[in-house]
Amino acid sequence: MTNAFPNTAQEFHENGTLKKPNWLRVKLPTGEGYKHVRGLVNEHKLHTICESGNCPNMGECWGAGTATFMILGNICTRSCGFCAVATGRPTELDYDEPQRVAEAIHLMKVKHAVITSVDRDELKDGGAEIWYNTIKAVKMLNPDTTLETLIGDFKGQKQDIDRVIEAHPEVVSHNIETVERLTRQVRIQAKYWRSMEVIRHLKQGGMRTKSGIMLGLGETLEEVVQTMQDLHDNGCDVITIGQYLQPTAKHLRVHRFVTPDEFAYLQKTGYEIGLDHVESGPLVRSSYHSEKHLFSGRPENKD
């Protein structure tokens, strides 16, 4: 990022890679709450993006009794340059998965649940029917639990997106991930404006909409602000902004570690643009503190 706080120094290891700053250090997962969630995930043979995506907040979230479930298996048909989820030929669909997810959420007694999925481009509907069945199963067994769904783009097929809308989760998120210029490099099979159209269609369908951006991949301040503006213009209510962390040596490298002050600046800018809720910080991920994203986070709405 340039032109935001240009005097911030970046420290490097001898091999030329960036040193992780102190503000990105997190505690290792421990505690009874973490062990309880780990046990439920294993017992019900569930996949979580917390594990598959190497989320830095797993210890905090699992310790609080929450997790982001990942449906449609744990092998993705896409090969995004930032993502730690395995890429390859997915296994057969598990039609019992929706009920198992619903039962796990019930046992965890969570008030707000998040569900995401791998991309299943080989399926005619992209997995839309499993999405519909999962949302319905969760709501039937957990009528008091609110639900956020983090979906892919379904190749822009509106009839498949409509199946998610018809199941009516409280929030539907679709991550733009990066700025327009870097989309082909970062997301490879995805398209910037197709994702914007997905968000627009969700909003037109009456959904509370959400998207996420990663920083540190070589974007400029102006590009980030423009992306936030594009999201707002296409009906996005909530944006999460966090630091990209390279999961393995094979993935895209980190160009820069963005400072907490810069994240605070972008949060302020997002509210000035007119976004309803902006979650912005180095360790922010799409599902981090997602229960807060049900409502407006604008400063004038806070006590």
| Domains along the chain with CATH numbers | 28-298 (3.20.20.70)
Residue 42 is predicted with a pLDDT of 66
From first CA to last CA, the distance across the chain in angstroms is 33
Residue 2 is predicted with a pLDDT of 46
Tokens of 121: 């481009």
Rounded to an integer, what distance in angstroms lies between the CA atom of residue 170 and that of residue 165? 10
Tokens of 99: 């009920």
Per-residue pLDDT of the chain (303 residues; tens, 9 = 90+): 444 445 455 665 556 667 777 767 655 555 565 566 666 666 666 555 455 444 555 555 544 545 678 899 889 999 998 887 889 999 889 999 999 999 988 887 778 889 999 999 999 999 999 999 999 999 999 999 999 999 999 999 999 999 999 999 999 999 999 999 999 999 999 999 999 999 999 999 999 999 999 999 999 999 999 999 999 999 999 999 999 988 888 999 999 999 999 999 999 999 999 999 999 999 898 877 788 899 998 888 765
Rounded to an integer, what distance in angstroms lies between the CA atom of residue 190 and that of residue 174? 12
Tokens of 198: 């997905």
Rounded to an integer, what distance in angstroms lies between the CA atom of residue 102 and that of residue 24? 33
Residue 28 amino acid letter: L
Are β-strands 238-243 and 277-280 bridged in parallel, bridged antiparallel, or unpaired? parallel
Is the Cβ–Cβ distance between 178 and 214 less than 8 Å? yes
Residue 83 is predicted with a pLDDT of 86
Rounded to an integer, what distance in angstroms lies between the CA atom of residue 261 and that of residue 259? 5
